[in-house]
Structure 1
Amino acid sequence: MYTLKKSLGQHFLKDENICRKIVDAVQAEHPAQLLEVGPGGGAITKYLIALNGVDFKAIEVDAEKVQYLTATYPALQGKIIHKSILDATAPFTGGFHIVGNFPYNISTQILFKILDWKEQVPVITGMFQKEVAQRIAATPGSKTYGVTSVLMQAFYDVAYLFDVSEQSFNPPPKVKSGVIRLRRRETTEPMKTAKAFTLLVKTAFNQRRKTLRNAVRSLFTEEILKDAIFTKRAEQLSVADFAQLSFKMN
Protein backbone atom coordinates (compact mmCIF):
# COMPACT_ATOMS: atom_id res chain seq x y z
CA MET A 1 0.00 0.00 0.00
CA TYR A 2 1.00 3.65 0.24
CA THR A 3 0.97 6.48 2.75
CA LEU A 4 -0.67 9.89 2.51
CA LYS A 5 1.71 12.83 2.55
CA LYS A 6 0.28 16.07 3.91
CA SER A 7 3.36 17.93 2.65
CA LEU A 8 2.22 17.18 -0.92
CA GLY A 9 -1.38 18.21 -0.23
CA GLN A 10 -2.59 14.68 -0.87
CA HIS A 11 -6.32 13.94 -0.59
CA PHE A 12 -7.21 10.85 -2.57
CA LEU A 13 -10.55 10.28 -4.26
CA LYS A 14 -12.51 7.29 -3.00
CA ASP A 15 -15.95 8.06 -4.51
CA GLU A 16 -16.22 5.85 -7.60
CA ASN A 17 -19.21 7.81 -8.90
CA ILE A 18 -17.15 11.03 -8.93
CA CYS A 19 -14.23 9.21 -10.58
CA ARG A 20 -16.51 8.00 -13.37
CA LYS A 21 -18.05 11.47 -13.81
CA ILE A 22 -14.60 12.98 -14.29
CA VAL A 23 -13.61 10.28 -16.76
CA ASP A 24 -16.90 10.74 -18.65
CA ALA A 25 -16.15 14.47 -18.93
CA VAL A 26 -12.69 13.67 -20.31
CA GLN A 27 -13.99 11.06 -22.74
CA ALA A 28 -16.59 13.51 -24.09
CA GLU A 29 -13.71 15.64 -25.41
CA HIS A 30 -12.25 12.70 -27.43
CA PRO A 31 -8.57 13.05 -26.47
CA ALA A 32 -5.99 11.22 -28.59
CA GLN A 33 -3.19 11.98 -26.10
CA LEU A 34 -3.89 12.44 -22.41
CA LEU A 35 -1.78 13.46 -19.41
CA GLU A 36 -2.99 12.87 -15.87
CA VAL A 37 -1.45 15.16 -13.27
CA GLY A 38 -1.00 13.63 -9.81
CA PRO A 39 -2.56 10.16 -10.21
CA GLY A 40 -1.93 9.41 -6.52
CA GLY A 41 -3.46 6.04 -5.70
CA GLY A 42 -4.93 5.60 -9.18
CA ALA A 43 -8.61 6.32 -8.46
CA ILE A 44 -9.12 7.99 -11.84
CA THR A 45 -6.12 6.38 -13.52
CA LYS A 46 -7.63 2.89 -13.52
CA TYR A 47 -10.46 4.17 -15.73
CA LEU A 48 -8.26 6.35 -17.95
CA ILE A 49 -5.90 3.51 -18.93
CA ALA A 50 -8.94 1.56 -20.12
CA LEU A 51 -10.01 4.24 -22.63
CA ASN A 52 -9.74 2.97 -26.20
CA GLY A 53 -7.49 4.78 -28.65
CA VAL A 54 -5.95 7.09 -26.06
CA ASP A 55 -2.19 7.47 -25.65
CA PHE A 56 -2.00 7.93 -21.87
CA LYS A 57 0.73 9.22 -19.57
CA ALA A 58 0.75 10.32 -15.93
CA ILE A 59 3.06 12.62 -14.00
CA GLU A 60 3.66 11.97 -10.30
CA VAL A 61 6.23 13.56 -7.96
CA ASP A 62 5.88 10.99 -5.14
CA ALA A 63 8.22 8.01 -5.63
CA GLU A 64 6.10 5.80 -3.37
CA LYS A 65 3.02 6.41 -5.52
CA VAL A 66 4.97 5.71 -8.71
CA GLN A 67 6.07 2.36 -7.29
CA TYR A 68 2.54 1.55 -6.10
CA LEU A 69 0.92 2.45 -9.42
CA THR A 70 3.32 0.48 -11.60
CA ALA A 71 2.98 -2.57 -9.32
CA THR A 72 -0.82 -2.36 -9.19
CA TYR A 73 -1.47 -1.43 -12.84
CA PRO A 74 1.07 -3.15 -15.15
CA ALA A 75 -0.35 -1.19 -18.09
CA LEU A 76 1.34 1.89 -16.61
CA GLN A 77 4.85 0.54 -17.19
CA GLY A 78 6.77 3.25 -19.03
CA LYS A 79 3.85 5.68 -18.86
CA ILE A 80 4.59 7.45 -15.57
CA ILE A 81 6.83 10.51 -15.48
CA HIS A 82 8.41 10.75 -12.04
CA LYS A 83 8.75 14.47 -11.39
CA SER A 84 6.77 17.57 -10.48
CA ILE A 85 4.69 18.98 -13.31
CA LEU A 86 6.16 22.38 -12.39
CA ASP A 87 9.57 21.11 -13.55
CA ALA A 88 8.36 19.06 -16.53
CA THR A 89 8.60 19.60 -20.25
CA ALA A 90 5.63 18.82 -22.47
CA PRO A 91 5.25 15.00 -22.40
CA PHE A 92 3.91 14.65 -25.94
CA THR A 93 4.61 16.08 -29.36
CA GLY A 94 1.41 17.51 -30.78
CA GLY A 95 -1.76 18.24 -28.84
CA PHE A 96 -2.72 16.56 -25.57
CA HIS A 97 -5.48 16.91 -23.01
CA ILE A 98 -4.84 17.25 -19.27
CA VAL A 99 -6.86 15.80 -16.40
CA GLY A 100 -6.16 15.76 -12.71
CA ASN A 101 -7.20 15.97 -9.10
CA PHE A 102 -4.72 18.80 -8.75
CA PRO A 103 -2.86 19.14 -5.42
CA TYR A 104 -4.64 22.06 -3.81
CA ASN A 105 -1.48 23.69 -2.45
CA ILE A 106 -0.03 24.25 -5.95
CA SER A 107 -3.13 24.13 -8.19
CA THR A 108 -2.80 27.74 -9.38
CA GLN A 109 0.91 27.23 -10.14
CA ILE A 110 -0.04 24.15 -12.17
CA LEU A 111 -2.50 26.18 -14.25
CA PHE A 112 0.13 28.82 -14.96
CA LYS A 113 2.53 26.04 -15.99
CA ILE A 114 -0.11 24.67 -18.37
CA LEU A 115 -0.45 28.14 -19.88
CA ASP A 116 3.14 27.71 -21.09
CA TRP A 117 1.87 24.68 -23.03
CA LYS A 118 -1.40 26.25 -24.19
CA GLU A 119 -0.63 25.79 -27.88
CA GLN A 120 -0.56 22.03 -27.24
CA VAL A 121 -3.36 21.74 -24.66
CA PRO A 122 -6.89 22.19 -26.05
CA VAL A 123 -8.73 20.91 -22.96
CA ILE A 124 -8.08 20.72 -19.20
CA THR A 125 -10.47 18.82 -16.93
CA GLY A 126 -9.50 19.38 -13.33
CA MET A 127 -10.61 19.13 -9.74
CA PHE A 128 -9.75 22.06 -7.51
CA GLN A 129 -10.63 23.44 -4.13
CA LYS A 130 -14.12 24.84 -4.81
CA GLU A 131 -13.03 28.39 -4.02
CA VAL A 132 -10.24 28.14 -6.60
CA ALA A 133 -12.55 26.56 -9.19
CA GLN A 134 -15.01 29.41 -8.70
CA ARG A 135 -12.19 31.95 -8.97
CA ILE A 136 -11.07 30.50 -12.31
CA ALA A 137 -14.64 30.70 -13.64
CA ALA A 138 -15.47 34.11 -12.07
CA THR A 139 -16.81 37.00 -14.15
CA PRO A 140 -15.87 40.70 -13.99
CA GLY A 141 -17.36 42.54 -11.04
CA SER A 142 -17.38 39.59 -8.66
CA LYS A 143 -15.26 39.43 -5.52
CA THR A 144 -13.59 36.20 -6.67
CA TYR A 145 -12.58 37.63 -10.08
CA GLY A 146 -8.81 38.08 -10.13
CA VAL A 147 -5.48 37.25 -11.74
CA THR A 148 -6.26 33.55 -12.27
CA SER A 149 -9.69 34.36 -13.77
CA VAL A 150 -8.28 36.79 -16.32
CA LEU A 151 -5.15 34.86 -17.32
CA MET A 152 -7.00 31.58 -17.82
CA GLN A 153 -10.06 33.10 -19.50
CA ALA A 154 -7.84 34.98 -21.94
CA PHE A 155 -7.00 31.65 -23.53
CA TYR A 156 -9.67 29.18 -22.31
CA ASP A 157 -13.45 29.10 -21.98
CA VAL A 158 -14.25 27.86 -18.48
CA ALA A 159 -17.21 25.68 -17.50
CA TYR A 160 -17.95 24.72 -13.88
CA LEU A 161 -19.09 21.09 -14.13
CA PHE A 162 -19.99 19.87 -10.63
CA ASP A 163 -19.31 20.03 -6.89
CA VAL A 164 -17.47 17.31 -4.97
CA SER A 165 -18.11 16.87 -1.23
CA GLU A 166 -15.40 16.48 1.40
CA GLN A 167 -16.56 12.91 2.06
CA SER A 168 -15.49 11.83 -1.43
CA PHE A 169 -11.84 11.89 -0.28
CA ASN A 170 -9.48 10.11 2.05
CA PRO A 171 -8.66 11.97 4.21
CA PRO A 172 -11.57 14.43 3.86
CA PRO A 173 -10.22 17.93 3.18
CA LYS A 174 -11.55 20.85 5.18
CA VAL A 175 -12.92 22.44 2.02
CA LYS A 176 -15.36 21.53 -0.73
CA SER A 177 -14.09 20.80 -4.22
CA GLY A 178 -15.26 21.50 -7.73
CA VAL A 179 -14.55 20.07 -11.17
CA ILE A 180 -14.15 22.46 -14.08
CA ARG A 181 -13.38 22.14 -17.78
CA LEU A 182 -11.21 24.62 -19.62
CA ARG A 183 -11.54 24.48 -23.40
CA ARG A 184 -9.08 26.53 -25.42
CA ARG A 185 -10.64 29.50 -27.17
CA GLU A 186 -10.67 29.41 -30.96
CA THR A 187 -9.89 33.12 -31.07
CA THR A 188 -8.18 35.22 -28.43
CA GLU A 189 -8.25 38.96 -27.84
CA PRO A 190 -5.41 40.81 -29.58
CA MET A 191 -2.79 41.87 -27.02
CA LYS A 192 0.63 43.52 -27.13
CA THR A 193 2.33 40.29 -26.00
CA ALA A 194 1.30 37.55 -23.58
CA LYS A 195 4.14 38.72 -21.30
CA ALA A 196 2.93 42.34 -21.27
CA PHE A 197 -0.68 41.24 -20.74
CA THR A 198 0.34 39.03 -17.79
CA LEU A 199 2.39 41.83 -16.21
CA LEU A 200 -0.52 44.25 -16.55
CA VAL A 201 -3.06 41.86 -15.00
CA LYS A 202 -0.82 40.90 -12.08
CA THR A 203 0.12 44.52 -11.37
CA ALA A 204 -3.51 45.68 -11.54
CA PHE A 205 -4.76 43.05 -9.08
CA ASN A 206 -1.77 43.38 -6.77
CA GLN A 207 -3.49 46.46 -5.35
CA ARG A 208 -7.06 45.63 -6.32
CA ARG A 209 -8.65 48.14 -3.93
CA LYS A 210 -6.93 51.02 -5.68
CA THR A 211 -8.03 52.54 -8.96
CA LEU A 212 -6.08 51.37 -11.97
CA ARG A 213 -4.45 54.79 -12.19
CA ASN A 214 -2.72 54.19 -8.88
CA ALA A 215 -2.22 50.43 -9.22
CA VAL A 216 -0.53 50.40 -12.64
CA ARG A 217 1.02 53.89 -12.73
CA SER A 218 4.50 52.47 -13.36
CA LEU A 219 3.41 50.82 -16.62
CA PHE A 220 1.96 53.85 -18.46
CA THR A 221 2.82 57.45 -19.30
CA GLU A 222 1.03 60.24 -17.42
CA GLU A 223 -0.76 61.17 -20.63
CA ILE A 224 -2.22 57.67 -21.09
CA LEU A 225 -3.23 57.56 -17.41
CA LYS A 226 -5.71 60.42 -18.06
CA ASP A 227 -7.95 57.96 -19.92
CA ALA A 228 -11.27 57.35 -18.13
CA ILE A 229 -10.69 53.59 -17.90
CA PHE A 230 -8.02 54.23 -15.25
CA THR A 231 -10.70 55.45 -12.81
CA LYS A 232 -11.96 51.85 -12.62
CA ARG A 233 -10.65 49.06 -10.39
CA ALA A 234 -9.09 45.88 -11.73
CA GLU A 235 -12.12 43.65 -11.06
CA GLN A 236 -14.27 45.89 -13.29
CA LEU A 237 -12.22 45.16 -16.41
CA SER A 238 -12.92 42.30 -18.80
CA VAL A 239 -10.27 40.19 -20.51
CA ALA A 240 -10.81 42.31 -23.63
CA ASP A 241 -10.27 45.52 -21.63
CA PHE A 242 -6.94 44.27 -20.27
CA ALA A 243 -5.87 43.05 -23.71
CA GLN A 244 -6.65 46.39 -25.38
CA LEU A 245 -4.94 48.30 -22.57
CA SER A 246 -1.75 46.26 -22.99
CA PHE A 247 -1.06 48.04 -26.32
CA LYS A 248 -0.76 51.36 -24.46
CA MET A 249 1.87 50.13 -21.99
CA ASN A 250 5.34 51.68 -21.89
Structure 2
Amino acid sequence: PLLRERFAARENFTLVEADALEVDFCSAVEPAARARVVANLPYNISTAILQRLIARRRCVSEMVLMLQREVVARITAPPGSTERGYLTVLVEAFCEAEALFDVPPGAFRPVPKVWSTVARLRVRENTPPGADKPLLWRVVSAGFAQRRKTILNNLRAAHEDLRARVESAGGASSVLEAAQIEPRRRAETLTLDEWLRIARIAGMTDAGE
Protein backbone atom coordinates (compact mmCIF):
# COMPACT_ATOMS: atom_id res chain seq x y z
CA PRO A 1 0.00 0.00 0.00
CA LEU A 2 1.04 3.59 -0.66
CA LEU A 3 1.09 4.55 3.04
CA ARG A 4 3.32 1.63 3.96
CA GLU A 5 5.81 2.58 1.24
CA ARG A 6 5.75 6.31 2.00
CA PHE A 7 6.38 5.91 5.73
CA ALA A 8 8.51 2.76 5.68
CA ALA A 9 11.56 4.58 7.06
CA ARG A 10 9.73 6.00 10.07
CA GLU A 11 10.23 3.96 13.21
CA ASN A 12 7.22 5.54 14.88
CA PHE A 13 4.78 4.59 12.11
CA THR A 14 2.68 1.44 12.12
CA LEU A 15 0.02 0.73 9.52
CA VAL A 16 -2.88 -1.34 10.83
CA GLU A 17 -5.23 -2.67 8.18
CA ALA A 18 -8.39 -3.70 10.00
CA ASP A 19 -12.11 -3.11 10.48
CA ALA A 20 -12.52 -0.09 12.80
CA LEU A 21 -15.61 -1.73 14.28
CA GLU A 22 -13.63 -4.79 15.34
CA VAL A 23 -10.00 -3.78 15.90
CA ASP A 24 -8.71 -3.28 19.44
CA PHE A 25 -7.46 0.31 19.32
CA CYS A 26 -5.42 -0.14 22.48
CA SER A 27 -3.33 -2.87 20.85
CA ALA A 28 -1.71 -0.18 18.69
CA VAL A 29 -0.65 1.84 21.75
CA GLU A 30 2.36 1.16 23.95
CA PRO A 31 1.43 -0.28 27.37
CA ALA A 32 0.61 2.47 29.89
CA ALA A 33 0.66 5.06 27.08
CA ARG A 34 -2.26 7.14 25.88
CA ALA A 35 -2.74 8.13 22.26
CA ARG A 36 -4.20 11.11 20.48
CA VAL A 37 -6.66 9.99 17.84
CA VAL A 38 -6.93 12.17 14.73
CA ALA A 39 -9.41 10.89 12.18
CA ASN A 40 -11.92 11.65 9.47
CA LEU A 41 -14.44 8.97 10.39
CA PRO A 42 -16.73 7.33 7.83
CA TYR A 43 -19.97 9.17 8.51
CA ASN A 44 -22.23 6.13 8.27
CA ILE A 45 -20.43 4.41 11.16
CA SER A 46 -18.97 7.40 13.01
CA THR A 47 -21.24 7.02 16.04
CA ALA A 48 -20.34 3.36 16.44
CA ILE A 49 -16.61 4.09 16.18
CA LEU A 50 -16.89 6.98 18.64
CA GLN A 51 -18.62 4.73 21.16
CA ARG A 52 -15.82 2.15 20.75
CA LEU A 53 -13.17 4.81 21.29
CA ILE A 54 -14.89 6.01 24.46
CA ALA A 55 -15.13 2.43 25.71
CA ARG A 56 -11.33 2.17 25.24
CA ARG A 57 -10.58 5.57 26.75
CA ARG A 58 -7.90 4.10 29.04
CA CYS A 59 -5.47 4.30 26.11
CA VAL A 60 -6.77 7.56 24.60
CA SER A 61 -6.10 11.07 25.90
CA GLU A 62 -7.72 13.12 23.18
CA MET A 63 -9.66 12.75 19.93
CA VAL A 64 -9.77 15.26 17.08
CA LEU A 65 -12.42 14.00 14.70
CA MET A 66 -14.08 15.19 11.53
CA LEU A 67 -17.74 14.27 11.74
CA GLN A 68 -20.97 15.19 10.04
CA ARG A 69 -22.02 18.59 11.39
CA GLU A 70 -25.26 17.21 12.81
CA VAL A 71 -23.35 14.63 14.87
CA VAL A 72 -21.17 17.31 16.44
CA ALA A 73 -24.29 19.33 17.22
CA ARG A 74 -25.62 16.30 19.06
CA ILE A 75 -22.51 15.52 21.10
CA THR A 76 -22.12 19.15 22.19
CA ALA A 77 -25.81 19.88 22.82
CA PRO A 78 -26.56 21.49 26.21
CA PRO A 79 -29.48 20.43 28.43
CA GLY A 80 -32.72 21.70 26.93
CA SER A 81 -31.59 21.33 23.32
CA THR A 82 -33.65 19.09 21.07
CA GLU A 83 -30.34 17.79 19.68
CA ARG A 84 -29.50 16.22 23.03
CA GLY A 85 -29.66 12.41 23.21
CA TYR A 86 -28.00 9.25 24.48
CA LEU A 87 -24.75 9.99 22.62
CA THR A 88 -24.61 13.48 24.15
CA VAL A 89 -24.77 12.12 27.69
CA LEU A 90 -22.24 9.39 26.90
CA VAL A 91 -19.70 11.86 25.54
CA GLU A 92 -20.39 14.30 28.40
CA ALA A 93 -19.70 11.62 31.00
CA PHE A 94 -16.26 10.72 29.71
CA CYS A 95 -15.04 13.65 27.60
CA GLU A 96 -14.95 17.41 27.31
CA ALA A 97 -16.20 18.07 23.78
CA GLU A 98 -16.01 21.21 21.68
CA ALA A 99 -16.67 22.06 18.05
CA LEU A 100 -13.58 23.61 16.44
CA PHE A 101 -14.60 24.61 12.91
CA ASP A 102 -16.90 23.70 10.04
CA VAL A 103 -15.74 22.24 6.74
CA PRO A 104 -17.92 23.00 3.68
CA PRO A 105 -18.90 20.34 1.13
CA GLY A 106 -16.72 22.07 -1.47
CA ALA A 107 -13.59 21.03 0.42
CA PHE A 108 -14.09 17.44 -0.79
CA ARG A 109 -14.04 15.62 -4.12
CA PRO A 110 -16.55 14.35 -4.96
CA VAL A 111 -18.63 17.04 -3.26
CA PRO A 112 -20.88 15.54 -0.54
CA LYS A 113 -24.34 16.82 0.33
CA VAL A 114 -23.51 17.49 3.98
CA TRP A 115 -21.35 19.88 5.97
CA SER A 116 -18.65 18.56 8.26
CA THR A 117 -17.31 19.79 11.59
CA VAL A 118 -13.98 19.11 13.28
CA ALA A 119 -14.45 18.48 17.00
CA ARG A 120 -12.06 17.94 19.88
CA LEU A 121 -12.90 15.46 22.65
CA ARG A 122 -10.56 15.45 25.64
CA VAL A 123 -10.93 12.34 27.76
CA ARG A 124 -11.66 13.27 31.37
CA GLU A 125 -8.98 12.37 33.88
CA ASN A 126 -11.67 11.80 36.49
CA THR A 127 -15.09 10.58 35.46
CA PRO A 128 -18.14 11.25 37.67
CA PRO A 129 -18.83 8.51 40.24
CA GLY A 130 -21.23 5.98 38.76
CA ALA A 131 -20.59 6.91 35.12
CA ASP A 132 -19.12 3.49 34.39
CA LYS A 133 -22.10 1.60 35.83
CA PRO A 134 -24.17 -0.32 33.25
CA LEU A 135 -27.37 0.71 35.06
CA LEU A 136 -26.77 4.37 34.22
CA TRP A 137 -26.75 3.67 30.51
CA ARG A 138 -29.87 1.53 30.71
CA VAL A 139 -31.59 4.45 32.44
CA VAL A 140 -30.38 6.98 29.84
CA SER A 141 -31.40 4.68 26.98
CA ALA A 142 -34.87 4.26 28.47
CA GLY A 143 -35.19 7.98 29.06
CA PHE A 144 -34.61 8.80 25.40
CA ALA A 145 -36.58 5.83 24.04
CA GLN A 146 -39.60 7.98 23.18
CA ARG A 147 -38.53 11.59 23.05
CA ARG A 148 -42.03 13.09 23.17
CA LYS A 149 -42.83 11.31 26.43
CA THR A 150 -41.92 12.52 29.90
CA ILE A 151 -39.10 10.97 31.86
CA LEU A 152 -41.73 9.48 34.20
CA ASN A 153 -43.58 7.69 31.40
CA ASN A 154 -40.38 6.48 29.77
CA LEU A 155 -39.14 4.95 33.02
CA ARG A 156 -42.51 3.28 33.52
CA ALA A 157 -42.30 1.85 30.00
CA ALA A 158 -38.68 0.73 30.29
CA HIS A 159 -37.41 -2.74 29.44
CA GLU A 160 -38.53 -5.37 31.93
CA ASP A 161 -35.25 -5.66 33.85
CA LEU A 162 -34.91 -1.90 34.34
CA ARG A 163 -38.59 -1.52 35.13
CA ALA A 164 -38.25 -4.17 37.84
CA ARG A 165 -35.23 -2.33 39.26
CA VAL A 166 -37.15 0.94 39.36
CA GLU A 167 -40.15 -0.74 40.98
CA SER A 168 -37.94 -2.30 43.64
CA ALA A 169 -36.69 1.22 44.43
CA GLY A 170 -40.26 2.38 45.04
CA GLY A 171 -41.47 3.06 41.51
CA ALA A 172 -40.68 5.69 38.89
CA SER A 173 -42.43 8.52 40.74
CA SER A 174 -40.57 7.80 43.97
CA VAL A 175 -37.21 7.51 42.21
CA LEU A 176 -37.68 10.86 40.47
CA GLU A 177 -38.88 12.51 43.66
CA ALA A 178 -35.83 11.24 45.53
CA ALA A 179 -33.63 12.52 42.69
CA GLN A 180 -35.39 15.91 42.90
CA ILE A 181 -36.49 15.76 39.27
CA GLU A 182 -39.86 17.03 38.06
CA PRO A 183 -41.55 13.94 36.53
CA ARG A 184 -43.10 15.90 33.65
CA ARG A 185 -39.71 16.87 32.25
CA ARG A 186 -38.38 15.32 29.06
CA ALA A 187 -35.07 13.52 28.73
CA GLU A 188 -33.31 16.25 26.76
CA THR A 189 -33.70 18.69 29.67
CA LEU A 190 -31.78 16.51 32.14
CA THR A 191 -28.15 17.17 33.06
CA LEU A 192 -25.55 14.44 33.44
CA ASP A 193 -25.72 14.88 37.21
CA GLU A 194 -29.48 14.29 37.16
CA TRP A 195 -29.08 11.08 35.15
CA LEU A 196 -26.50 9.93 37.66
CA ARG A 197 -28.88 10.66 40.54
CA ILE A 198 -31.68 8.63 38.95
CA ALA A 199 -29.36 5.67 38.35
CA ARG A 200 -27.89 5.88 41.84
CA ILE A 201 -31.33 5.83 43.48
CA ALA A 202 -32.66 3.10 41.17
CA GLY A 203 -29.55 1.03 41.92
CA MET A 204 -29.66 1.26 45.69
CA THR A 205 -31.06 -2.26 45.89
CA ASP A 206 -27.92 -3.63 44.21
CA ALA A 207 -24.58 -1.97 44.95
CA GLY A 208 -22.92 -4.06 42.21
CA GLU A 209 -24.72 -2.27 39.38
TM-score class, shorter-chain normalisation, is 0.7 to 0.9
The alpha-carbon distance between structure 1 residues 242 and 178, as it changes in their structure 2 partners (threshold 3 A), is: same
Identical-residue share of aligned pairs (%): 34
TM-score, normalization by structure 1: 0.68
Q: Name 2:184's counterpart in structure 1.
A: 231
- Match of 1:240, SS state, is helix
The alpha-carbon distance between structure 1 residues 203 and 76, as it changes in their structure 2 partners (threshold 3 A), is: farther
How many residues were matched structurally?
184
Which blocks of at least 5 consecutive residues in structure 1 are unaligned?
A: 1-66
Structure 1 position 95 matched with structure 2 position 34:
yes
Q: Name 1:197's counterpart in structure 2.
A: 136
Residue-by-residue CA offset, 1:122-178 (whole Å, 9 max, x unaligned): 101000000101111111111111111110111101111000011111211110000
Do 1:95 and 1:120's aligned partners in 2 also have CA atoms closer than 8 Å? Answer: yes
Structure 1 position 81 matched with structure 2 position 16:
yes
TM-score, normalization by structure 2: 0.81
User: What RMSD, in angstroms, separates the aligned Cα atoms of the two structures?
Assistant: 1.9
Distance in 1 (alpha carbons) for counterparts of 2:7 and 2:21: 25
Distance in 2 (alpha carbons) for counterparts of 1:75 and 1:159: 35
Q: Which 4+ runs in 1 deviate beyond 4 A?
A: 75-78
Residue-by-residue CA offset, 1:81-108 (whole Å, 9 max, x unaligned): 1111211111212211111001100000
Do 2:146 and 2:154's aligned partners in 1 also have CA atoms closer than 8 Å? Answer: yes
The alpha-carbon distance between structure 1 residues 76 and 214, as it changes in their structure 2 partners (threshold 3 A), is: farther
The alpha-carbon distance between structure 1 residues 76 and 194, as it changes in their structure 2 partners (threshold 3 A), is: farther
- Match of 1:216, SS state, is helix
Structure 1 position 156 matched with structure 2 position 95:
yes
Distance in 2 (alpha carbons) for counterparts of 1:194 and 1:85: 25
- The Cα of 1:186 is off from its aligned counterpart by 3.1
The alpha-carbon distance between structure 1 residues 192 and 170, as it changes in their structure 2 partners (threshold 3 A), is: closer
Question: Which is further off, 184-193 or 166-175?
Answer: 184-193
Do 1:192 and 1:246's aligned partners in 2 also have CA atoms closer than 8 Å? Answer: no
- The Cα of 1:188 is off from its aligned counterpart by 2.3
Which blocks of at least 5 consecutive residues in structure 2 are unaligned?
A: 204-209
Distance in 2 (alpha carbons) for counterparts of 1:216 and 1:193: 20
User: Superposition pairs for residues 1-250 of structure 1, below 5 Å?
Assistant: 67-75=1-9, 79-89=14-24, 90=26, 91-92=28-29, 93=31, 94-191=33-130, 193-217=132-156, 218=158, 219=162, 220-221=166-167, 223-226=170-173, 227-228=176-177, 229=181, 230-249=183-202
The alpha-carbon distance between structure 1 residues 131 and 146, as it changes in their structure 2 partners (threshold 3 A), is: same
The alpha-carbon distance between structure 1 residues 200 and 186, as it changes in their structure 2 partners (threshold 3 A), is: same
